[in-house]
Amino acid sequence: MGRRAKHKQAAPEALEPKEPYTSKKQLGKRKAEADTQDEKSSPRPTKRAKDLSSKGKGKEISSSSKAKPTKTKPKKNAKVVDDDGSEGWEDVEDGEDLRGHTKSLFNDSDEEEPAGFVGDLDEFDMDEDDEFISGPAQEFDFDSDEEEEEEEEEEEVVLPSKTKKSKQAERPKKIIPTQSDQSSSDEDGDEDEDDERVTMANMAARSRKLEAQAEEDAELDIKEAQAAAADEEDDDIDMDDDDEDMEGDIDAEPFHLPTAAEREEEKAAGGPDVHLVQRRMREVARVLAKFGKRAEKGRARAEYIDQIVSDIASYYGYNEFLAEKLFHLFPVNEAIEFFEANEIPRPVTIRTNTLRTRRRDLAQALVNRGVNLEPIGKWTNVGLQVFESNVPIGATPEYLAGHYMLQAASSFLPVIALSPQPNERVLDMASAPGGKTTHMAALMQNTGVVFANDANKARTKSLTANIHRLGCKNVVVCSYDGREFPKVMGGFDRVLLDAPCSGTGVISKDASVKINKSDRDFTLLSHLQKQLILCAIDSVTPESKTGGYVVYSTCSVTVDENEAVVDYALKKRPNVKLVDTGLQFGREGFTSYRGKNFNPSVKLTRRFYPHVHNMDGFYVAKFKVEKRSKALPNAAKSSEADEPVAVDPEFMENIQVERTGFNDEEDKAYLEEDKRKRMKAKGLRPPPRSKAAQKLAEAKA
């Protein structure tokens, strides 16, 4: 096919007349010539003027990627017909290679088309001079030009604008519609008002507006709280009306409380099934919540309580005495939560030793070793909670260097309540293994003196080791019975008594407490604690300028070891009163428990529970020791006797007043006899009696 036939083929019409593509490299005269040339050129999009003198060897391709032409294999003796009907085989010789000739013809026309652009136009950084044709790339078929012209006449394609648009100029679509246009416009208006500049003129109006808005918010909060309470009452459906159990089985049988005979049969048969016990605990708890509506007729509340206590003891592994003692501390549902929390170990916590490092530096060092941790809470600035660790947390170089101490979070509380100050004289009556002692030494910044005492001499070894490891230089270790301490040493500014107890608050650590505690153990421990707290109070000097405080704490939750002991101390020492512990959380102590009434100030003490605060069960009370007042019981009568009484002077003249005094000779025998008794009591041999003393002894005989 000759070149004439190729140029006779009509070019396809453009979809829309547009300005030609010009490269930003065209400057000056070339740009002006290109503009004049495009006016005469064909409207075919993105095609450049072909250099007729060249034969496809030196053509410039300005596009970034070159499109590969489609290679078509023409059939033998194929003919190409022009628009005017003439065949284009004039210049083809018989011996010429038809395949190579066809390839040169069609490849030349394909190379003239610019390569297509792949991708999103918005992602391409275009300048104002670069105006690519937007829209999908079209593939032209030169054999069907007439069909394309007819289609273009029927349907007009509108191309997008050629001007460059920034991404920021486009308005983003709403992914999730939030409110109506009216509300959004109102919010915009409110924001405009809020953004208005505050001046002296509008300050009062804005203040009134804020106060009115605060009042409206408070009213809405009250209404929401009331509505929530009403919804809770409505949602509390009586399950007895429907034959539906707690698991949602509609056809389940109604709950039947076993009688005493049936319980004996269960025990004889080896005990009930675990699932049966769990279901029965839930049912009894539900009945006790509304006993008047849900209880069986003729059954007393005590029977239900005995049943759930027995089930708790068998399900969690307690003896029935301890299960009942702990059950009566809480409401029914909360009691089950308490027993359940005792089965879960408490979080691992460490205390930063501020004598050697800071908490931030320690946390960073442990994180670098693969320890996952975070601060315990806002109530302490030295505690860290460890979630997981790739290394043994008790054998890291930081631990061996004394940067931290493995210590339960509840053990921080007594020291925080005591709050020892620098240069004070402090006593820890039961200090082993030294967590609280070293904490106090750190708070005192290694000043003053801390006497660390423990009655068990074997435990002082671990106490001494921790003191040396943590670098506490102001601690004196001693081993005395705490009840002897007022005689051994006194005059302390502050005393910490972490008394020995039953350990009912740390059952998650020591499960043996469930079965090895009896009523006798609680009686003996309570008696010991009462003696120790009186000795701790007597060891404090009331004249202390900075102190005069005693903190009593136990790791128990029973009332016998906590409120009862504190109330006993208040009765026996009138110069002592309870003060606020300074702890920002925790429940108040009991002022009355099962018929026992305590001092109203006992509510200043604090209780901590594992199911509420996620720490070991603990109790903290803080006393303030004051000077003893020498008040006589007959002070009122003496004051009345001192008042002047009007008396007739003539009556006073007739009365003879006899003045009496002490007779030393008569009292000498009594004083000598009393001295002899004191010497005998001390084991000394008294001197022989005088004659007056002999007469007195004979008279008494």
From the annotation, which residues make up the binding site for S-adenosyl-L-methionine?
Answer: 430-436, 454, 481, 498
SS3 515: helix
Q: Which residues lie closer than 8 Å to 52 by C-beta, 6 or more apart?
A: none
Backbone angles phi, psi at 432, to 5 degrees: -65, 140
Instruction: Output the CA torsion 466→468→469→472 (10° steps).
Output: 90
Q: Which of 498, 459, 492, 497 lies closest to 478 in space, CA to CA?
A: 459
Distances (CA, A) of 231 to 228, 234, 235, 240, 606: 5, 5, 6, 20, 33
Rounded-to-integer distance, Cα 654 and Cα 685, Å: 56
Annotated binding site: 430-436, 454, 481, 498
Q: Which residues lie closer than 8 Å to 22 by C-beta, 6 or more apart?
A: 31, 34, 129, 131
Which three-class secondary structure string do you get for 418-474? HCCCCCCEEEECCCCCCHHHHHHHHHCCCCCEEEEECCCHHHHHHHHHHHHHCCCCC
Distances (CA, A) of 642 to 631, 636, 645, 660: 17, 10, 9, 20
Phi-psi region of 644 (alpha: psi -120 to 50; beta: other; left: phi over 0): beta
Rounded-to-integer distance, Cα 192 and Cα 195, Å: 5
For the chain, first and last CA: distance in Å?
164
Rounded-to-integer distance, Cα 309 and Cα 297, Å: 21
In the chain, what's the furthest Cα-to-Cα distance?
A: 181
Cβ pair 279, 307 in contact under 8 A: no
Catalytic residues: 555
